[in-house]
Amino acid sequence: MRTTTARVPAKINLCLGVGPRRDDGYHPLATVYQAVDLCDEVRATEVDDDTVTVRTQFAGDGTREQAPVPTGPDNLAVRAALALREAFGVDAGVSLAIRKAIPVMGGMAGGSADAAAALVACDALWGTQAKRRELEEIAATLGSDVPFLLHGGTALGGGRGEEVSPVLARGRFHWVFAIADHGLSTAQVYAEYDVLHADSPPPMPEVPQALLTALAAGDATGLGRALSNDLQAPALGLRPELQRVFEVAEEGDALGALVSGSGPTVMVLAEDASHSEELARLLLATGVCADAVQASGPEAGAHLI
């Protein structure tokens, strides 16, 4: 049986400005994405009928409890395969196998990453030869973060997150991800954001100039100071215990710390790889998170391996 495999990074938001809820329920965003080398892999294998199935295996030592990943048509990788098949009139099926390292419901777009990888892997398996633009259009129908996960690197995100454009960024940044033992629902965190702004709608968001300046200069200290996330307050409201991660990050002289996306993962910025190792040890030793994972970025978007 023929097989193709795509690797895809996790995403973080270096800033995440959230505007007032739109009529379609989504929120306008002004964000800077970065892809980091905490990667899932999606293997697509030919089948002799038209079924599209998925199974998931968790990477790592299996000690961290993981939320179950849907195996039916709600699985984003399955939806990606079905959307590509529909767009190109393919009648073949596929068996997808996901090897997951990106935390489930962790605010790092794990499900969206698997959708981007499934698009790339199925495009190669089925020989659909989709153009970049066509894959991006399908990606945007699957989720707000999926187009960025095809793109990778460091990029501006507008619209509801699906409008991705390049940004000037230098250097490599070293992160530690403090992972919680239970995920948060993105929709629930946005709903909490609306509650917090019930009396005064937020303004249309903008990307802070200080962040762009730090990225253009490859300045990790400046980046640490400029990190911002409008979803941090609602995520901390739902999970007040995350505050302890920030205290430990400060004790360890982190350059900055921020809730990742809609949380509950907290991303901690280190000076270099050895500082990130120290911070990971400290976070684990103090027991403020279920796991502490080191990764660096920027990293390429979904690609065949």
What track of x and - describes contact with ligand C5P for positions 16 through 55 (by CB under 6 A)? Answer: ---------xxx-x--------------------------
263 scored as a contact of ligand C5P (CB under 6 A): no
| Cβ 131 to ligand C5P shortest distance, Å | 23
Find out whether 267 is annotated in a ligand binding site: no
144 scored as a contact of ligand C5P (CB under 6 A): yes
Q: Which is nearer to ligand C5P, 162 or 299 (CB)?
A: 162
Find out whether 108 is annotated in a ligand binding site: yes
| Cβ 166 to ligand C5P shortest distance, Å | 20
| Cβ 158 to ligand C5P shortest distance, Å | 10
Instruction: Quote the longest CA-to-CA distance of the chain.
Output: 58
State yes or no: is 100 an active-site residue. no
Q: Which is nearer to ligand C5P, 34 or 144 (CB)?
A: 144
Under rule CB under 6 A, how many of the chain's residues touch ligand C5P?
13
Helix (H) or strand (E) holding 97: strand 94-100
The answer to whether the peptide bond before residue 9 is cis (omega within 30 degrees of 0) is: no
| Cβ 147 to ligand C5P shortest distance, Å | 11
Q: DSSP readout, 158-173?
A: ETTTTEEEE----S-E
Could you tell me if 24 and 78 are in contact, meaning their C-beta atoms sit under 8 angstroms apart?
no
3-state SS class at 146: helix
| Active-site entry in 11, 40, 100, 123 | 11
Q: Tell me the window of 37-45, 90-98, 141-149, 229-237 that interacts with ligand C5P (CB under 6 A).
A: 141-149
Separation between Cα atoms, residue 208 and residue 16, nearest integer Å: 10
Could you tell me if 135 and 150 are in contact, meaning their C-beta atoms sit under 8 angstroms apart?
yes
Q: Tell me the window of 54-62, 65-73, 138-146, 204-212 that interacts with ligand C5P (CB under 6 A).
A: 138-146
- Nearest CA-CA partner of 247 in 233, 239, 257: 257
110 scored as a contact of ligand C5P (CB under 6 A): no
Q: What does the buried/exposed string (b/e) look like for 214-247 if buried means 16 or more CB atoms within 10 Å of the residue's CB?
A: bbeeebbebbbebbbbbbbebbbebbeebebbbe
Could you tell me if 276 and 153 are in contact, meaning their C-beta atoms sit under 8 angstroms apart?
no
Q: Which is nearer to ligand C5P, 109 or 248 (CB)?
A: 109
State yes or no: is 11 an active-site residue. yes
Residues 166-225 that bind ligand C5P (CB under 6 A): 186-187, 190
The one-letter amino acid at 94: V
Separation between Cα atoms, residue 304 and residue 177, nearest integer Å: 25
Q: Which residues pair with 42 in a beta bridge?
A: 6, 98
Which residues are catalytic, by number?
11, 145
Give contact residues for ligand C5P (rule: CB under 6 A): 25-27, 29, 112, 143-145, 160-161, 186-187, 190
Task: Please report, in range form, the residues annotated as the binding site for ATP.
Answer: 103-113
